Chain A
C-alpha cells in the first residue's frame, strides 16, 4: 500500500512523487491554506506517477504562531498522514481565520442527495493543534446570537464522509496526539466504519490546554460510526458534553480523563452522553470529575448558560444496549449517572469489571451531591438493567441528602456480584415505582475493594 506523509512546518513528501512547483510563502506570513490544499491537490494529480524523489515544503511559521486557515483543508486522498513536524502539537497550530470557515480540516464530503462519497480512508492526523478561534467567530457573528450547542455549524476537525448526510461512511481515520482549543462549537466529529482490525480512533489528545479560557463552546468529541472510539484523551472545560456518543454502533469511550465540562450548558446533561441513535456503546475505565460545579446563569464568554444546572457524569438518553465498565465518577454537584427512562433506553449494563484490563484499579461513583444513579421517568415502561459489583459511596454532598441508587421503571437482572455502598447520607438504594429485578439490591456491604 502506498502511503503518503505530509509534514507541517516542513511538508515533505517522502515517496517517489513528482509534484508541481509550489509557490512558497516567505517566513512570517501565516496563510497556510493554499499550501496545504495545493499539496493535497498535487498529490491527487500525481499519485500514480513515479520518478524522481522530490519534496515540497509549506511555508514556515515560528513555533506557536498559528497558521491561518482561510478555507477548509479538504482531504480527498486515501493512505495519507498529516503530521506536525514540531516538538509538540503546540508548535503547529492550525487556526480558523474567520467565521466564514466552517471547518478547519475535513474529509471530502458528499452533501447533495444522490452523490457518491469519495470516502478517503486510512488517514492519520497527528501532532497538530486545532484552534477554532472562537473569539473571532463570536465577534463576527455577534455574541448574543451565536451560542450554538449541538448544531454542527462549526466543527474544527470534521471527519465525516457521509453518514451525517445519509450515506454510508467507510473512512477510517486515526487522530493522535492532537490538541483542540477555542472551538466555537464542536472540536472533533469522528466517523467511520470498521474494517478488519481497523476503525476510526482519536487517542492521546487534549482539549482546552490553555485552561478554562480556551474551552470549546459545545461538545469536545462527537463519536459516530462503527467501532470508532475515543481512547486516553484529556477533555476539559467544554461548554456541553466532553464526548457525545451520537450515532452508530459499538463505539468505545475508553480511558479518558474528563473534567469540568458542561460549563456553558442550558439545561444540564452528561459529560459523557449516549444519544438515542447509538447502540452497544462501550464506556470503560474513564476518570470523570464534575468539580462540584453548578452554573449560576450569568454571562459566560458571551453566552448565557442555564441557572442552577450542573453536569452529570454519564447521561443515558435513549441508546440501545450501552455498557459502562469501571468508570470513576466523582464530585458531581447533583447526579452522577442519569437515565431517562421515558425515551426507551434498553439493556443497560453497569459493572466494576473492565473486560479489557483485569488489573484496572477498582473505580467508584463517589462524592456526588444528590443521586449516584438516578433513573427518572414518568411513563410505566421498563428498562432492562444489570448491575455487577458497582460501587456508590459518599452520596450526599453540597447540602443534599444523598441516595446511592434511585430506581424506577427498571426490570431485568438487577444486582449481581453484590454492590459496594457506604456513607450515602440517605439510603443506599431507593425503589420507586415499576421496579422488578431478578436480583434485588443487596444489603449494605461496607467493604470496597479499593478503600473508596
Chain B
C-alpha cells in the first residue's frame, strides 16, 4: 500500500504552479490586442488558475483527516446507523450548514464508488490466484495509489464546495499536529 502520509496526488498545486503570474499578465495583454477566441482562452486560464490557487495542495496531515471522514461516511461495509451518527456529529461539531453537509456526503459517496472499484479490481487480481507474483503486488499497489489520489481530489472538492468559513474550520482541525508534543 502506498504511504498515506505522502500522497502522490498533487494535481491542484501542479496546475496552479504551472500558470505563473507573469504568464497570466502576458495572456491578458494579448487578449486586449487580439481576437475573441484567444481572449476567451486567456480568461478561462485565469479563471481556472484563480479557482485552483484558492485551495493549496492537500497536505499529508489534511489527507489523513479527510481520508477518515470519507472512508467512514462513504463506507460500503459499516452499519448505516453508525455512518448516520458519525455524519450528524461531524456536521454539528464543525457547525456545518446543510449545504456543507450535502457536499461532504456527495464526496463520500464518490469515495464509496472508488472503494468498490478498487475492491473489484483487486479481486480480479487475487481471485483463484493462490500465489501472487511481484507484478500482481505492483498492480495492487497501483490501485491503492489511485485510491489515495482520489482522496486528495475529493478533499479539494469538499473544500471548494462548502462555505469558506466551514472550509477554514475543517482545515484548522485537520492541521492540528498528530502527535501533539512539546505542549506540556
Residue ranges of A at the interface with B (Cβ–Cβ < 8 Å): 5, 7, 9-10, 12, 24, 26-27, 55, 57, 60, 62-64, 83-91, 126-127, 176-177, 194, 196-201, 203-204, 206, 208-211, 214, 227-229, 231-232, 234, 236, 250, 252, 254-255, 257, 259, 280, 282, 285, 287, 289, 328, 355-361, 363, 450
Contacts and interface: CB of A to CB of B under 8 A. Distances in A.
A86 B82 contact: no
A86 B126 CA distance: 11
B134 A194 contact: no
Contacts of B155: none
21 contacts: A9-B140, A60-B132, A62-B126, A86-B119, A87-B144, A88-B76, A88-B77, A88-B115, A126-B1, A199-B179, A199-B181, A201-B178, A209-B79, A214-B79, A232-B68, A280-B184, A282-B183, A328-B92, A356-B176, A357-B173, A360-B172
Contacts of A126: 1, 4
A360 B86 CA distance: 18
Given A63-B122, A236-B85, 6 more contacts: A7-B1, A60-B129, A85-B1, A87-B114, A208-B82, A234-B72
Contacts, number: 177
Interface of B: 1, 4, 64-65, 67-68, 71-72, 75-79, 81-82, 85-86, 89-90, 92-95, 114-116, 118-119, 122-123, 126-132, 134, 136-137, 140-141, 143-144, 147, 168-169, 172-173, 175-184
A287 B173 CA distance: 13
B109 to A, nearest CB: 15
A234 B176 CA distance: 17
Among A10, A227, A328, max chain B CB count under 10 A is at A10
B31 to A, nearest CB: 39
Which label, helix, strand, loop or mixed, suits the secondary structure of the B interface?
A: helix
B176 A254 contact: yes
B152 to A, nearest CB: 16
A259 B179 contact: no
Which label, helix, strand, loop or mixed, suits the secondary structure of the A interface?
A: loop
B178 to A, nearest CB: 5
B128 A250 contact: no
B140 A198 contact: no
Contacts of A206: 72, 78, 82
Contact of B71 (A88, A227, A228, A280): A88
Nearest to A27: B130
B1 A84 contact: yes
B126 A194 contact: no
Contact of B95 (A127, A236, A450): A450
A361 B169 contact: yes
Contacts of A88: 71, 75-77, 115, 119
A282 to B, nearest CB: 7
Contacts of B183: 250, 282, 355-356
Contacts of A85: 1, 122, 140-141, 144
